[in-house]
Structure 1
Amino acid sequence: MAGKVTQKGDTIYLNIGQRWFKYNERSLLGSGAMGTVYKGYDCNSGEPVAIKRVMDRYANNPEIRYRAHQEADLMFRHPNLVEMLGCCEIAPDRGPIFIVSNYVNGENIDQFINTHVRALPNVEKRICELFLPVLDALSYIHQKGIIHMDIKPSNIMMEQGKNVRLMDLGIANISDTVNTATSGMMGTPKYAAPEQFSDSEKGPQLTAATDIYEAGVTLYELITMHNPFSASSVMEARELHRELILEKKPMMSEAVYQVIRKATAIYPSDRFQNAGQMKMALKEALAAPEPSSNTLLYWIIGLLGALAIILLILFLL
C-alpha cells in the first residue's frame, strides 16, 4: 500500500495505513544502485525500521516506480527474507518514493565470515551451511513467481550472528508481468548471469536459473574471497561471463566446486533449475568424504609401482 509523506524540520514522516514512521537523513545505513537506506522508527512503538529512498533520477521512471510498489507489496513471511511494511510517495507519478521494511540488525554475510568464520577449521563447510538458508529464501520467492536478479554478498545479511536474510528485492521481477527491456540490464555485472546481458530487443529472458547463477558466483566468492568476473565495464563483464570457467581454488573441495560449476553454467538449461536442487546438491557435497592422506599415499604408491612394472617390461624388451 502507498502512503503520504510530510516533513518537519530535519525529520521526515511517512504514513502507511494506520502507522507512522520517521527518519532523519543523518541516520544513513547505506547506499546501493537504486537508492539510499536510512534507519527509521515506528512513531508509536519506537521499533526500528529500514527506510529506502529510491534515487530521484530513477523515481520518475514509470518502470522503476512500478518496481518500487512491487517490492513494497511483497508481503512475504519467511524467516530468511525481510518483511516489507509498505511504501510512500509524494505524488503517484513523480517525486521521491520511500520503501519501509523491518530493520535487520546485523552485518553483510561476507563481513561476518571474514570476522567470525574464516579462521575456524572446516571453513568451506561452515560457509556452505551459512549459505543454505539463502537457497531456502530463493526457493520460496521462486515458488511465488519472483526472480531476485541481484544475488550478491552485500544483499545477504547475518542477523545478530544467528539468522541469514536475503535482502533487497528492489529490482526483483515478477516473471509473468514485467518487461525488463525498458530499464536495461538489471543486476550487478560481476555477479550477473550471461542472459542478463542480452542483446535481444525483447530484453533478457530471465528465469529462476538466473538467480542460481548469481548464487553460484556469490558462494564462490564467499569461499575463495575472489570474484572471478571483476571487470571495469558492463561490456567487459559480458564477455567474461560468456567465456570464463571458474577456476578451482586450493581451499575448495572437488564436490563443492562441481556444485558451483553446475550453478554457473553458461546456458541456463545446464544449471540447477531451482534452488531446491542446488541446496540438495550442496548438502550432498558437504556429506561427501574427502580422500584421506592415507588413501592418497596408497594411490601414489600404486601409481609408482605400475610405472616401475612398465619400465621393467620395456627394459626387458
Structure 2
Amino acid sequence: MPGKVTREGNIIYLNAYGRWYQYDETRPPLGAGAMGVVYLGQDCQTREPIAVKRVVDRYANNPEVRRRAHQEADLMFSHPNLVEMLGCCELDPYQGPIFIISRFVKGENIDKFINAHVRSLPNAEHRICELFLPVLDALAYIHSKGIIHMDIKPSNIMMEQGRNVRLMDLGISDVTETVNSSTSGMMGTPKYAAPEQFSDVENKPQLTSATDIYEAGITLYELITKQNPFSAATIAEAKELHHGMVLPQVPGISDSVFEVTRKATAIHPSDRYQNANAMKAALKAALPPRNFSKFDRFMKKVQDSNVSVIANILKK
C-alpha cells in the first residue's frame, strides 16, 4: 500500500512500510527522464542514502501509471542485478505526485562507463557483451515473476562502482504476463521501443517478455556501435522506423554478435528469442574465445580472491 507524505519547508518526508525517508526538493536532482525526476535522499533512522523518483504529474495523474507505481514498490525483489525497491508514497490516491523510493546505487550509466573505460581496450566488443550478460540475468529473473520492464535502455543500466551491473527503473513495468497496448498507451522510450509498444498498432497486440528482448537487442547494438538507427524527432517517426526497418550491420560489430541483435529485434515478437536465457545463451555462443592479457588474468584473480590471497599474489 502507498505510504504517507508530509512536508516541513523544503524537506519532503516519506513513510513507506513504517519507515521514514526524506529528501530536499530544492537540491539539484540526480537525474530526470520522461517519467520523472530522481532526487538523493536518506533514511531518517540510519542516514543511509536512498533515491526518490518523483513521477511527473502528467504521468502520475494517469490511473494506469499510478497502479504500476504502486506495484513497483511492492515488488521488493532481491537480485544482485536489480535495484532494491523500498516503497511508494503519495499525497492523494487518485492524483498529484507519486514518490518511488529505492536504494541509492553509486555508479554511472553503463554507456558512460563503457566509453570511459572499455571502448579503447582490446577485445572491446567481447568486454561489452560480457557486461551485458547480467542485464539478461536480471530480465530472466523479473520475467520469471511475471514482470515486463518495458524501458530497457543504457540510461536504465547502472555500473555500480565499476564492479556490478544493475538494471534500474521498473517504474513503468507491469506485473501481468501481458499488457494490452491499446489501454496502456505508449510506455517506454521511442527509439528503443518494440513495434508492439506503440499504442495504435493494428490488432492491439499484447506486450510480453519478447518486448523486453527487442529493447535489449537495441540497447546492446547501441552499446557496441554507438549508433541507434531508430532515433527520430517524433513518436510517429519512431513507430514507422521500428515497423519498417531492420538493424543495419555497421563496422565495429562482429557478424556473430550482430546476428544475436538482429534476431532479438525481429519485427514480429514470435521471431525473437522467447526469453532472456535464450538470448544470453546465444550471445555467449557468439563470443569467440578471448585472448586474455596479463592484466585480465590479474584482475580475474583479484575478483575471485579475498584480501589475504590478493596479498600473496602481489608478493610473487
Q: TM-score, normalised by structure 1?
A: 0.88
Check the 8 A contact 1:262/1:271 in 2, yes or no. Answer: yes
Give, in angstroms, the shift of residue 251 of structure 1. Answer: 1.3
Check the 8 A contact 1:184/1:203 in 2, yes or no. Answer: no
Check the 8 A contact 1:149/1:172 in 2, yes or no. Answer: yes
Check the 8 A contact 2:191/2:231 in 1, yes or no. Answer: yes
1:30 partner letter:
G
Distance in 2 (alpha carbons) for counterparts of 1:127 and 1:193: 22
Check the 8 A contact 1:124/1:252 in 2, yes or no. Answer: yes
Distance in 2 (alpha carbons) for counterparts of 1:199 and 1:165: 32
Give, in angstroms, the shift of residue 78 of structure 1. Answer: 0.4
1:14-33 to 2 correspondence within 5 Å?
14-25=14-25, 26-33=27-34
Give, in angstroms, the shift of residue 199 of structure 1. Answer: 2.6
Distance in 1 (alpha carbons) for counterparts of 2:149 and 2:115: 25
Is 1:81 the counterpart of 2:82 in the alignment? yes
Distance in 2 (alpha carbons) for counterparts of 1:10 and 1:37: 16
Is 1:104 the counterpart of 2:105 in the alignment? yes
Distance change in 2, residues 1:39/1:161 (3 Å): same
Distance in 2 (alpha carbons) for counterparts of 1:288 and 1:215: 23
Distance change in 2, residues 1:5/1:144 (3 Å): same
Distance in 1 (alpha carbons) for counterparts of 2:23 and 2:169: 19
State the match for 2:278 in structure 1. 277
1:1-317 to 2 correspondence within 5 Å?
1-25=1-25, 26-176=27-177, 179-200=180-201, 203-287=204-288
Distance change in 2, residues 1:38/1:261 (3 Å): same
Give, in angstroms, the shift of residue 27 of structure 1. Answer: 4.2
Give, in angstroms, the shift of residue 182 of structure 1. Answer: 3.1
Distance change in 2, residues 1:204/1:170 (3 Å): farther
Distance in 1 (alpha carbons) for counterparts of 2:216 and 2:132: 9
1:11 partner letter:
I
Check the 8 A contact 2:177/2:208 in 1, yes or no. Answer: no
Q: CA RMSD in A?
A: 1.7
2:58 partner letter:
R
Give, in angstroms, the shift of residue 98 of structure 1. Answer: 0.7
Distance in 1 (alpha carbons) for counterparts of 2:105 and 2:146: 25
Distance in 2 (alpha carbons) for counterparts of 1:70 and 1:223: 33
Tell me whether 170-179 or 195-204 shows the greater mean CA deviation. 195-204
Tell me whether 271-280 or 168-177 shows the greater mean CA deviation. 168-177
Structure 1 stretches of 4+ moved >6 Å:
none
Q: Secondary structure at the match of 2:189?
A: coil
Q: Give the number of aligned pairs.
A: 290
Structure 1: where are the runs of 5+ without partners? 291-317
State the match for 1:300 in structure 2. none
Q: Secondary structure at the match of 1:252?
A: coil
Distance in 1 (alpha carbons) for counterparts of 2:252 and 2:157: 22
Give, in angstroms, the shift of residue 237 of structure 1. Answer: 1.1
Distance in 1 (alpha carbons) for counterparts of 2:51 and 2:106: 10
State the match for 1:306 in structure 2. none
2:127 partner letter:
R
State the match for 1:301 in structure 2. none
Q: Percent identity?
A: 71
1:16 partner letter:
A
Check the 8 A contact 1:181/1:201 in 2, yes or no. Answer: no
- The structure with the largest alpha-carbon Rg is 1
Give, in angstroms, the shift of residue 198 of structure 1. Answer: 4.8
1:46 partner letter:
R
Give, in angstroms, the shift of residue 67 of structure 1. Answer: 1.0
Give, in angstroms, the shift of residue 96 of structure 1. Answer: 1.5
Check the 8 A contact 1:108/1:154 in 2, yes or no. Answer: yes
Tell me whether 236-245 or 108-117 shows the greater mean CA deviation. 236-245
Distance in 1 (alpha carbons) for counterparts of 2:202 and 2:259: 34
Distance in 1 (alpha carbons) for counterparts of 2:75 and 2:100: 11
State the match for 2:295 in structure 1. none
Q: Secondary structure at the match of 2:172?
A: coil
Measured against aligned partners, the alpha-carbon deviations of 1:41-87 in whole angstroms (never above 9, x if no partner) come to 00110100000111122222211111110111111100000110011
